[in-house]
Each structure stands twice: as structure tokens, then as C-alpha cells.
Structure 1
Amino acid sequence: MTGLAYFTETRDGLFLGNDPARGPWSVDHCHAGPVTGLVARAAEAAVGPDKMLTRLTLDVLRPLPLAGLRVSSETVRNTRTLATTKVEVHDLDGTLCIAATSMHLTRKELGDVPTAPVTPLRFEDAEPGDPLLIGSLHDKPAFGSFIEMAYPKGQELKPGPKTIWMRVPPLLADEVPSPIQSMCALADCGNGISWNEPPTRLGFMNTDLTLQVHREPESDWLASESLSHWHGTGVGMSQSILHDTQGPVATALQTLVLHPLNR
């Protein structure tokens, strides 16, 4: 991973957003992907390493200020089989910005078991390319400019479904993120990958994110196969299959609110 970390943590547990955490819609607010990583970090810390985070659901209730966020977690249930948590993200004024829940399942050693046959995406065939996620409504350094990206050969960066490989910065400069924490930034990019209209013409912000994980990723490079459904009601949905270099690992879903932009 390269470049500046998404956040700097102060001694009193406040997370200050750095340039890579800045979102495309506002110069003062975070992209929800890095903040999702903080939520996963809090949930994993609350439960411990014996159980794997298998589902993370976030309601994004308000913009997420770069100026500072506080993350709190509570273990709601913890049994031999599963654990659940509640995680909240507040701004400096104490306003609730994200309400999240998580599910964790006990790790077992079952050996080889049958599973659906899937042909892995070939990272070896991917080609480095220009950043896709840099379109924004401001001129400050932001999320997409700090990510390494690669694309399947021959893929055009036009509106519609797309696949993109990404390698992202760490959450914190002095800490190695867990595999699932590293996947969170990509999980929240489905709408930005598969837009059906340029972001300077139509807004397509997500109001939530559900990440369903069936295997922890094993590579730094991760891919998202994403498509977005948009409707004249102003409601949409982005759905993504997330991969490491060995095959699929998770599914991410986002509900989208569509709105015209006056430029």
C-alpha cells in the first residue's frame, strides 16, 4: 500500500480525516468507504479474532466530517457460534452520522468442503490505468487520487457496469489493517465504479452499505464487479461482487439516492 493513511487518531480517540479520506461531493466530508473501515475495525476489536466478521450493515445518516469522528462499539450478543455488535459514528458535536451492526461467526477447521465453481478474475491480465474515482465537485485532493487501479484488458471506462482492481491506503499509518478492513473502501465504491451518468451531471450518493463476506481476502489487490440500477423515482441500487486474486470473497449492496446537480 502506498501514500498517506486515511486517518490520524488522536490520543483521545478522535479520527481526523486525511486527504485520501475526502469524498467527491464535499471538500469537508469523508468518503464513506474509509469510515466503513473504521466501523469494521471497531466491530472486530469488540468481538476478537476467534470469530470472523461475516456481515456489516451501515446506515449513513449524515455527512461524515473530515474534522473529526468518534467511533463507539458495543457487543450485543456473543455465543459459541456467533456474535453481533452495534457500532456508532458521531461527529464532533455528538451527532449520530452512521449507525451500524455486524455479525461474526466462529472460525472452524473443516478441511476441504464443496463449493460453487467460479472462475477467478485474472489479476495477471489487468492493466494499470488512469484513476476512475477522481470525478468530484471540488478541486481538493480526494479519495480516488490515492488508490492504485488496474482494469481488465479492453474494458472501456464508459457509463455502465465495470470491473476495477484497487489497492488502497491503510486506515492508520501505524497499524496494519485486517483483510476485511482493507476491503471496506472498495465495498463502498460500487456506485462510483458503475455510474450510468457522469457525477458532474447527476448525483448518486449511497444512504447505506451492506457487506456480506464469505471468505477473508488474501491479497492486497482486490477487485469489484459492479453494476447500478437507476430509476426515475430517484431511487437506485448498486451491487458488487468483490474478489481477491483467488476468487470472490464478498458481496456489497448500496441503496442510492439520485439527484440532479446544478453546475
Structure 2
Amino acid sequence: MSVHASLAPNLDVGSPFVELRGAFVATTRASGPWSPGHCHGGAVAALAVRAAAGVATRATMALARLTIDLLAPVPVGKPILPRIRVDKDGSKLQRLVVALDVDGRTMAIASLLRVRTTGCPPYRAKVDWVDETAAEIGTLGGFSGQFETVSEQGGIGMVGPGRVWFRMRAPLVEGGPYIAEEAAAAIADFTSAIGMSRPYQLYEFPSVDLSVGLSRAPLGEWIRIDAFNSDGDEGRAACYSTLSDCYGPFAHVVQTSFVERRS
């Protein structure tokens, strides 16, 4: 699939992606910390959720689990074509496989599990509050700049463990709605950055996968990530976090990072 010059998207719009003829094109606001020409893992994970959103279910269902393998860096400025396969389409659960292709090559592959909702949400009272007066914009630019953050401990680029509130500043796709599960997937990928036990200035630790299990969708736009990493000596780190909103925890995250010293 090619993009003609007359159809090429503005790569400095307010959202990380624009939609173009059934594909998505990453703007500069989707870029990650390791290369300005490639997408942040959180942007890719959220895009997998968006790509699956239009698949119908036999009953009212909600996302219960997302697992994504980041097979290769996803480039900024090229069409990303989703391929979706329904592996299971039952009355209680649905399993989707979403492949994200660029120039005919699969760059990421995700599994999404949707589970039927009962329609009986429990009573909730707020247990946490975020100090919005302390909000800052992500300092690393690119995708991190798409979020307001309030740090309770540590932060992006700081040695973890850490605990930080995030709020998306714009929809994932230009002109589209804000979708809570997309925000959760995007923020979950910051687990390694918030929990990493090595200094950002000396090490790179790109994510190679992400798994998010959700007991419910987040309520409100602020999501807190409470992260720590188990950093081994074999060039990888196991990264863990809990995602919460003002009503308490709603998801757990497991992630693998490839760790190496900056050259």
C-alpha cells in the first residue's frame, strides 16, 4: 500500500495517528525515546486496541486482556495496515488476533480477549485523588509528550521503582474519540520506563512485549502506574506494574525489556 504525495498526512498533528483508507499512519507524536523515526511501544499497543474496536461481538463484551509482541520497530510516516482474525467468537468470550503490517511485513502481533459483561457494576467510592495542579507534560517529547503526568515517586527517565499519574492530552487517532482501554494500553507500556532500575542516561531498554489484564475499564482520564522492574544480568528486565484510577486498581501489567548500555 502506498500513500500518494497529495494524500500524505500532516505528521505534526495533535494525535499520534491519522487514519487513511483503512490504514493508520503514525505522526511524529507517536515516536519513542530510542529513535525519532519509530513508534513508542505504547502507541503501537493502543493502536492494536483501536484496530479491534470495530469487530462485533455476539453479546456485550469488554476487553479483559491484551498481549502484544513488538516484533520490529514500527516506522513513523508509513501506512500501518491491521489484519484481524477472530479465533473464538462465543457468547461469553471472544479472542482476536491483530497483526500490524508495514510494507507487507508484520511489525507487531496482538491477542485481545473480550469477556461478556454482566451489567452489574459494583458500587465504587473514590479512594485516590490526583493533584492536577502539579501536572507536567512529558519531557522526552514524541509519545511521552502526549501525556500530562503527576509524579508521586520517580518518573519517566528516573531510576525506579516509580508511581506516576498519566492523562492523555489528545485522542489516539486524529478526529477520533477518547477510548479508555486505548489509554490504558498506551500507559501500560510506560511500565519499564517508570520501574527501570538502571539510569536512562546510560542504558536503553526498549520493550519487546506487553501484557495487560483488566478487571474493568478505567474510570476517568487519569491513570496511575505503580511500577518496578526485576533487572537481570543477561540483557533483559522483567517489568511489573499495577494500573489504578481514582477508584482503585483495575489492571496488572507484565512486560519484557531488552537492556543494553548506550553506545
TM-score (norm 2): 0.86
User: Which ranges in structure 2 are unaligned for 5 or more consecutive residues?
Assistant: 1-12
More moved, 173-182 vs 231-240: 173-182
CA offset at residue 127 of structure 1? 5.6
Using the TM superposition, give the Cα deviation of residue 238 of structure 1 relative to its aligned residue in structure 2, in angstroms. Answer: 0.9
Task: Tell me the equivalent position of 2:162.
Answer: 162
Distance in 2, matches of 1:41 and 1:95, equals: 20
Q: Which amino acid aligns with 2:89?
A: N
Q: Which among 14, 18, 28 is matched to residue 37 of structure 2? A: 28
Structure 1 unpaired stretches of 5+: 135-140
Verify: 1:62 aligned to 2:72, yes or no: yes
Write the mapping of 1:162-201 to structure 2, written as runs, cut at 5 A.
Answer: 162-168=162-168, 169-201=170-202
Which range moves more in the overlay, 172-181 or 234-243?
Answer: 172-181
CA shift, 1:22, in A, is: 0.6
Contact 1:127 1:151 in 2 (8 A): no
- Between the aligned residues of both structures, percent identity stands at 24
- Aligned equivalents of 1:127 and 1:193: distance in 2? 21
Q: TM-score normalised to the size of structure 1?
A: 0.86
Q: 1:52 Cα shift?
A: 0.6
Q: Which residue of 1 aligns with 2:205?
A: 204
Counterpart in 1 of 2:101?
90
**Matched letter for residue 78 of structure 1:** D
> Structure 1 residues 133 and 95, CA, compared in 2 at 3 Å: closer, same or farther?
farther
Number of aligned positions between the proteins: 246
Tell me, yes or no, if the aligned pair for 1:179 and 1:217 is still in contact at 8 Å: yes
Q: 1:51 aligns with which of 29, 44, 61?
A: 61
- Cα deviation code 1:212-261 (max 9, x no counterpart): 01011111111100111111111211111001111111111111111111
CA RMSD of aligned residues (A): 2.2
Q: Is the 8 A contact 1:38 1:71 kept in 2?
A: no
Q: Does 1:72 align with 2:83?
A: yes
Q: Which SS does the other structure have where 1:206 is aligned?
A: coil
Equivalent position of 1:42 in the other structure: 51
- Tell me which residue corresponds to 2:111: 101
Give 1:233's aligned residue. 234
Amino acid at match of 1:128: A
